C-alpha cells in the first residue's frame, strides 16, 4: 500500500484507483478509507479515485501529539500538494466536513469543487445554532470515551444507521466497513478529535468557500442533523443540496447507487 510522508514524518496510508479528474475521499470519526468501497467501485472507471486514512486512523501512522483540526487539515493540504493533484473534487464525510471547512479557510490547493456529506460547522448546539447535538449528550460521550472506549464506540455505532438500514441485506458488509476493529484509532486520538468537535465553531469559515459545493445529507441522521446541512446551503455562495429522506448518517453505504448517481450528476455539471 502506498504511503505519503508528511513534513513531520507521519506516514499516511492511501489508495488510488483509476485515471482522470481526481476525487479525494475523506472519512469520518474513528473510521478509515474503507468506508468508500462502493464509491471506489463506481467511479474508478472514469475518475482518479483517491482514498486517504487520516493521521491516527486506519493504516496510517498514529504518533503521540496534536490531533487538532488544524493539523489534520494541513496533512490533507500537504498530501494534495505532494501528489500534485489538479482540479480536485474534495469529498468529506462527517468529521472530514469539519476538516474541509478548516482547510478552505487557508490558501487552497487546487480544488475545483467540494462535496460535504452529513457534516456540520458546529457539532454542539447553542442558542445561535440549534442544529447541533445537545451539550449534555456530547459531554456524556466525552466522559464515556475516557471511561470505556469500547462502550463509547458501541453507543456511537448505534447512531449511525436507522433501524431499517441496520436490517438491510448487505448489513454485515456495511458494519464491517464502519466498525472493523483492525482499523480503529487509539483512544487518545478519538478523544482528541471528539474534543475538537466539541469545541470548534467553524461557521465563520463557510463564507470563504466559493467553489461549487454539493451537500449530501441523510434525512434521519442522528449525529449531524439535517438542519446543519440546510444552514450551510443558506450560507454557501455556490451550493446545492441533496437530502436522502430515509437515510441515517451514511447514505453512501445504505443508498449507494442513488448516492453515486447524484454525485455523478454533480461531477458531470462541473
Task: Output the DSSP codes for 122-163.
Answer: BSB-BTTBTTSB-HHHHHHHHHHHHH-HHHHHHHHHTTTS-T
Average pLDDT, the chain: 96
Helices 135-147 and 187-199 pack at an angle, to 10 degrees, of 160
Flag whether pLDDT at 107 surpasses 80. no
Percentage, residues of the chain above pLDDT 90: 96
Cell of 21: 479528474
Task: Give the CA-trace dihedral at 257, 47, 13, 186, to 10 degrees.
Answer: -30
Q: Convert the pLDDT of each residue in 70-101 to its tens digit.
A: 999 999 999 999 999 999 999 999 999 999 99
Pairing of strands 22-26, 11-17: unpaired
Contact 11, 75 (CB under 8 A): no
Q: What was the pLDDT predicted at 1? A: 74
Q: 3-class DSSP state for residue 164?
A: coil
**Average of per-residue pLDDT across 133-161:** 96
Reported confidence tier of residue 105, pLDDT bands at 50, 70, 90 = confident
User: Chain centroid to CA 103: how far?
Assistant: 13
DSSP helix/strand/coil, 130: coil
* pLDDT score for 213: 98
Q: How far apart are CA 219 and CA 239, in angstroms?
A: 18
pLDDT band at residue 109 using 50, 70 and 90 as cut-offs = confident
Q: CA 264, 265, 267: angle at the middle one, nearest 5?
A: 65
Sign of the alpha-carbon dihedral angle for 177, 181, 183, 188: positive
Amino acid at each position: 500500500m502506498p504511503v505519503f510522508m508528511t513534513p513531520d514524518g507521519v506516514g499516511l496510508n492511501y489508495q488510488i484507483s483509476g485515471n482522470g479528474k481526481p476525487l479525494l475521499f475523506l472519512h469520518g470519526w474513528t473510521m478509515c478509507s474503507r468506508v468508500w468501497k462502493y464509491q471506489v467501485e463506481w467511479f474508478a472507471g472514469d475518475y482518479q479515485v483517491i482514498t486517504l486514512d487520516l493521521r491516527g486512523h486506519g493504516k496510517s501512522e498514529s504518533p503521540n501529539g496534536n490531533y487538532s483540526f488544524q493539523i489534520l487539515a494541513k496533512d490533507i493540504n500537504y498530501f494534495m500538494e505532494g501528489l500534485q493533484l489538479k482540479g480536485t473534487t474534495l469529498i468529506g464525510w462527517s468529521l472530514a466536513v469539519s476538516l474541509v471547512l478548516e482547510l478552505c479557510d487557508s490558501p487552497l490547493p487546487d480544488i475545483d469543487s467540494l462535496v460535504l456529506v452529513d457534516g456540520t460547522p458546529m457539532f454542539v448546539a447553542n442558542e445561535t445554532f440549534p442544529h447541533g447535538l445537545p451539550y449534555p449528550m456530547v459531554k456524556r460521550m466525552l466522559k464515556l470515551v475516557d471511561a470505556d472506549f469500547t462502550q463509547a464506540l458501541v453507543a456511537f455505532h448505534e447512531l449511525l444507521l436507522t433501524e431499517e438500514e441496520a436490517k438491510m441485506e448487505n448489513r454485515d458488509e456495511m458494519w464491517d466497513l464502519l466498525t472493523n476493529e483492525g482499523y480503529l484509532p487509539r483512544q487518545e486520538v478519538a478523544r482528541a478529535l471528539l474534543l475538537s468537535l466539541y469545541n470548534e465553531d467553524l461557521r465563520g469559515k463557510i463564507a470563504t468557500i466559493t467553489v461549487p459545493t454539493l451537500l449530501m445529507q441523510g434525512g434521519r441522521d442522528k449525529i449531524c442533523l439535517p438542519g446543519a446541512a440546510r444552514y450551510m446551503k443558506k450560507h454557501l455562495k455556490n451550493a446545492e443540496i441533496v437530502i436522502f429522506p430515509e437515510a441515517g448518517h451514511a447514505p453512501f453505504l445504505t443508498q449507494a447507487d442513488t448516492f453515486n448517481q447524484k454525485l455523478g450528476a454533480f461531477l458531470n455539471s462541473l
